Amino acid sequence: MATAHGTTDMIVHDADDPDVNRNRQYVLVAAILAALTALEVATYLMPKDLQHTAVFAVALCVLMTIKFVTVTLFFMHLKFDKRFLTVAFYSALALAVAVYLAVLATFRFFWPADQMIPR
């Protein structure tokens, strides 16, 4: 049977079983995601004046992006599937990001708060 992971016609219960190895990989990925989430939440405990800096927002966005890409690669199988699916999904995502960054810029979202529309 062809699946996202290739042909799996036999069920073998030993350490070399690809299903077992794959499941271990999933658990490892989940542990990494949990650690990244813990790191994100830990930033909430930082001093408030530090939380309002651009560096803080960028760091959180980087962590968010890592988590996002990790889930799509491993849990959604883009790493193992046809490249066409990666191109299709990330093209749509890039379009969405570009469109809404333009919208935010139109409303002066990236300007100082008193110049933003709506006030």
Partner 1 sequence: MASATHAAVTAPDPDVVHGGHGYATNTGISNTKLGMWLFLGSECLLFGGLISTYLLYRHPAPGTGPAPSELYDIPFTSITSFVLLMSSLTMVLAVSALEGGDHFKFRLWTVATALLGSVFISGQVYEFTAFVHEGMGFTTNRSSSAFFTLTGFHGVHVTIGIVMLVSLLLFSLRGHLPRERAEVVEVVGLYWHFVDIVWILIFTVVYLIPG
Query: Residues 59-78: x/- map of binding to partner 1 (CB under 8 A)?
Result: -xx-xx--xx--xx-xxxx-
State in angstroms the smallest separation of the CB of 38 from partner 1.
8
Q: Cis bond leading into 118, ω under 30°?
A: yes
In degrees and rounded to multiples of 5, residue 80 shows phi and psi of: -105, -20
Residue from 14, 15, 16, 33 touching partner 1 (CB under 8 A): that is: 33
- 105 makes contact with partner 1 (CB under 8 A): no
- 112 makes contact with partner 1 (CB under 8 A): no
State in angstroms the smallest separation of the CB of 73 from partner 1.
11
Task: Report the C-alpha gap between 63 and 32 in whole angstroms.
Answer: 11
Task: Report the C-alpha gap between 74 and 22 in whole angstroms.
Answer: 10
Q: Please, are residues 29 and 74 in contact by the beta-carbon 8 Å criterion?
A: yes
What would the two tokens of residue 72 be?
């799509």
What DSSP state is assigned to residue 72? I
Q: Tokens 């889930």 label which residue?
A: 71
The site for partner 1 (CB under 8 A) is made up of 1-5, 7-8, 11, 19, 22-23, 26-27, 29-30, 33-34, 37, 40-41, 43-44, 48, 51-52, 56-57, 60-61, 63-64, 67-68, 71-72, 74-77, 81-82, 84-85, 88-89, 91-93, 95-97, 99-100, 103-104, 107, 109, 113, 118-119
